[in-house]
Structure 1
Amino acid sequence: MMVDGVTVLAVAGSLDLLTMAEFQDAVDSALDTEPVALIIDLTEVEFLASAGMSVLISASRGAAHIPFAVVADGPATSRPIRLTALDTVFSLTATREEAVRNCTPRPSDIAAVDPAQVHQ
């Protein structure tokens, strides 16, 4: 799904060894579209195992060239992310709205181009 031009991958249920491949495929598919930014929303996730966290690390690496954030506000998701210090690896927000705000380029983020510096 797209929110303000940002790709949002909303995930639900359990992220564990049984669902890891499907989750990784969804992340890879989202990255294959060459998004301007990627948000993984874990709001509806009830269980986050180490296998799910490894997919988040992989997603962060795959999105190294674009803004990337993870939405997690419940104890089942935000707590393991913080306990493993993954919140220092990628941006962790409590709401999708906050993540979209953080991942949407602002006019001040866009470098001004001096026409005299452009070669034809």
Structure 2
Amino acid sequence: MVAPGSGAFTVEESQVKQAVVLTVSGEVDMLTAPQLEEAIRAALEARPPVLVVDLSKVEFLASAGMSVLVTAQAEAQPHTRLAVVAEGAATSRPIKLMGIDSVVPLYRDLDSALGE
């Protein structure tokens, strides 16, 4: 899924064992966050045991994107375990600075997110 006008934002869905993995790339801001939210909601409709939102290819994460993650955590429970992959200044740093890592489980890589 490519957001109109952004060119850089994409969300790709894949299946890894029992988990649905959404690989996000580009910038997640107020213009693209609704597309991320839509992709997460669509994935949650099937009630997978695990939903991983992989932000390792995200170059910028605005507060609108972080809000989507908090909402996703609330909507996923109790049927789906949400895991967010974020490492580096563009993703894990703002998530930790805002305290969102106390609400949304954060992992350094996809293998760690899938392993729990």
TM-score by length of 1: 0.82
Measured in 1, the distance between the counterparts of 2:45 and 2:81 equals 15
Gaps of at least 5 residues in structure 1 are 103-120
User: C-alpha displacement at 1:68, in angstroms?
Assistant: 1.2
Matching residue within 68, 71, 93 for 1:79 = 93
Tell me the secondary structure at the aligned position of residue 35 of structure 1: coil
2-structure distance, mates of 1:94, 1:85? 16
CA distance in 1, matches of 2:59, 2:70: 19
Bigger share in helix: 1
- TM-score normalized with structure 2 length: 0.85
SS at 2:20 equivalent = strand
State the distance in 1 between where 2:105 and 2:43 align.
Answer: 18
Asked which structure has the greater RCO (Cα within 8 Å, sep 6+), the reply is: 1
Q: Partner letter of residue 75 of structure 1?
A: A
User: Which of 12, 17, 21 is residue 8 of structure 1 equivalent to?
Assistant: 21
Looking at structure 2, the residues matched to 4 and 45 of structure 1 have their Cα atoms a distance apart, in angstroms, of: 24
- Structure 1 ranges of 4+ moved more than 3 A: none
Quote the residue 1:51 is aligned against: 64
C-alpha distance after superposition, 1:66-119 (max 9, x if no partner): 2111000121000000001111101100000000001xxxxxxxxxxxxxxxxx
Between the two proteins, the alignment pairs up a number of residues equal to 102
Letter in 2 for 1:70: V
Q: What percent identity do the matched residue pairs reach?
A: 44
Question: Which one has a bigger Cα radius of gyration?
Answer: 1
The CA distance in 2 between the partners of 1:20 and 1:73, in whole Å, is 19
Q: Give unmatched runs, 5+ long, in structure 2.
A: 1-13
**RMSD, aligned CA:** 0.8
Q: Which amino acid counterpart does residue 28 of structure 2 have in structure 1?
A: L
Q: Deviations over 1:24-81 (max 9, x none)?
A: 1101111012111111000000000000001001111111112111000121000000
Amino acid at match of 2:90: A
